[in-house]
Amino acid sequence: VSFILLLLWGLLGNWVLSICPSVCSCSGGHRVVDCSSRGLTKLPTGLQHNIRFLNLSFNSLRGLDSQLSHYAHLRTLDLSYNLLETLPPALPRSLWEIRAAGNHLRSLDKKDTAFHWNLKLLDLSDNELEKVVFINNTLLSLKSLNLSYNRFWTVPTNMPYNLECIDLSHNNLVQILPESLDLLLRLAKFYLHANRFTWLSDGVFNKLTGLEIITLGDNPWACEEEDNITRLLNWAEQTHATVLGCPCHTKPVCGQTYWAETNSSLFTEPPLWVNSRAERHDSQSPA
């Protein structure tokens, strides 16, 4: 009898754990939860404590307070295209990916990311950001940072040292502070096209020894100011990185490493992951 009771208790326990909110769809033992495009204004009830993936994109969420803090197994959180003005506080430290594109974020404070040691990808594109504050020696696992389509006028400082991809395209950037990039030794892809640069400080990219691709097109370079622009043009010709959109329209691609086939439109197109974001927006937006 005791064996049967234990068996029933085990089955019941698994059933209780394996629940899915009625407004969402679930898979992977109900640990992968899709609640996108459901018209939600608050977090749905009935989420398992051990979920790993949660998609809340394309809803009407304005805030989540600290409601997600106890989901200690959560790896991916998608909050894209809601009505958030700040990142929710106390997000789980287990997160690998945070996607919050297409909200109304205006700033990112140091406390918003201070304890996310496991975070690998942070997508804050298509917001209203003018300022982000990072603390030295935090976000050491972060590889990809997407800040495109915001309102930055200067490249953020103190960016996490291990970043491999930074997208700052489609902002209002006019300057990069001297030495602000010097510790980004792993940076391989740097998207700076579609900004308002007219010139850059001498040697601003010199410490980026791992750089493979940089985009500089669609900026109003002051080509007539030879004293300021010549050093940048020389760097663009001599760097081992591929430069898409050479300053002053000298050519679509420059640098010592040339692509086999060049396309003059490449440097004005957003990176693939931004295109993917836009496609998701078009395909998932409620009718």
Q: Domains of the chain by range and CATH?
A: 21-168 (3.80.10.10), 171-269 (3.80.10.10)
Q: What strands lie across the sheet with 189-191, from one edge to the other? A: 25-27, 32-34, 53-55, 76-78, 97-99, 121-123, 144-146, 165-167, 189-191, 213-215, 242-244, 253-254
Distance, CA of 242 to CA of 235 (rounded, Å)? 11
- Residue 126 token pair: 């298509």
SS3 255: coil
pLDDT given for residue 104 in this prediction:
98
pLDDT given for residue 255 in this prediction:
82
pLDDT given for residue 4 in this prediction:
55
pLDDT given for residue 178 in this prediction:
94
Residues of the chain with pLDDT under 70: 1-18, 250, 257-287
CA distances from 83 to 23, 64, 153 (A): 19, 11, 24
Distance, CA of 128 to CA of 227 (rounded, Å)? 34
Go through 234-269 and write b for each residue having 16 or more CB atoms within 10 A of its CB, e for each that does not. ebbeebebbbbbbbeeeebbbbeeeeeeeeeebbeb
| pLDDT tens digits along 82-125 | 999 999 999 999 999 999 999 999 999 989 998 999 999 999 99
What are the beta bridge partners of residue 78?
A: 55, 99
Q: What is the DSSP letter of 16?
A: H
pLDDT given for residue 138 in this prediction:
86
| pLDDT tens digits along 186-214 | 999 999 999 999 999 999 999 999 999 99
Inter-residue contact 108 to 133 (CB < 8 Å): yes
- Residue 94 token pair: 């287990």
Distance, CA of 237 to CA of 276 (rounded, Å)? 31
